[in-house]
Amino acid sequence: MNHKRFDSNKIPDLIEEYFYLSFDEKDIPFKSVVLPIGLTHLFYIGSGSQNVVVDDHETCLKGLIITGQYFRSYNFSTHSKTNSIGANLHPTALHKLLNIDVSELLNTHAPLKKINNTFYNKLLPIFENSKGPKELICNLNSFFLNAPLHIDKNTKQIDHAICLIREKEGLLSVLNIMDEISISQKTLEIQFKKIVGLTPGRYIRQFRFQNLMKKYFSDEIELKDLIYKYNYYDSSHFSKDFKLFMNQDLKSFFKQDYPLLEEYLTE
């Protein structure tokens, strides 16, 4: 498995980073659980195919793919030599770029062509004709820097809310956000779900958990200390969230290896 990440400092309000992922003959068949990190994704599978399984439903991925938000983990696999390259998008990027209700893509990997054919036709030649990752990223940066964006009062408020959640590492409440940006709970709930894809409460809960897991895989703090650092009442409380997000209990999880999960959570 070859996994690389490339910074995108030019357009942080749209692109968090670019990534490249490939699997050779020695890697397949490959399987791993994927923990959502609060982002949506846009990527192009240049060869082979990849698969995701959500609630026992398997989707085969080829070509130019877009994803919505995921609340819980899902399974990823490939049985062929394959490579993909794309972008981890800022939580509000899909709404800004496509002016869509992102919650309609919840727990979904879909061909971009089915979501927005015009956007697909503009992006596909960039992925197909760019020579190598560096040229592709340069061309994508140019495209996104010049793309028309849907930005209004609501997107600005939700961007502010995302900043607050990140600053506090998910250790805040919906009420804290309302106090900071002077917004009613109803408006926050409706606009956050539409623009990001999850309700603010769910996004905060997920963000807290994935930050804990990042620190665990980075060996920064022992698990028992992380449980209290991230405001879990006790190990039982954490175990319930772990089972919710990882779709398995702690004991089962630690009996297996998840190279892809460890790779992107520790970089």
CA-CA distances (angstroms) from residue 135 to 115, 124, 140, 141? 26, 14, 9, 10
> What's the pLDDT at 267?
62
CATH top-level class of 153-266: mainly alpha
Predicted confidence band at 205 (pLDDT cuts at 50, 70, 90)?
very high
CA angle 18, 23, 25 (to 5 degrees): 165
**DSSP structure class, residue 256:** S
pTM: 0.94
Multiple choice CATH, 2-145, 3.40.50.620, 3.40.30.10, 3.90.1170.50, 2.60.120.10: 2.60.120.10
Length reported for the chain: 267
Strands 40-54 and 2-7: unpaired
Q: Report pLDDT digits (tens) over 99-131.
A: 999 999 999 999 999 999 999 999 999 999 999
Q: Report pLDDT digits (tens) over 143-195.
A: 999 999 999 999 999 999 999 999 999 999 999 999 999 899 999 999 999 99
Closest CA to 45 of 82, 2, 1: 82
Domain segments of the chain as ranges: 2-145, 153-266
**DSSP structure class, residue 4:** E
Rounding to the nearest 10 degrees, give the CA dihedral for residues 114, 60, 13, 95. 30
Residues ≥6 apart with Cβ < 8 Å to 156:
none
Residues ≥6 apart with Cβ < 8 Å to 263:
1, 3
Predicted confidence band at 219 (pLDDT cuts at 50, 70, 90)?
confident
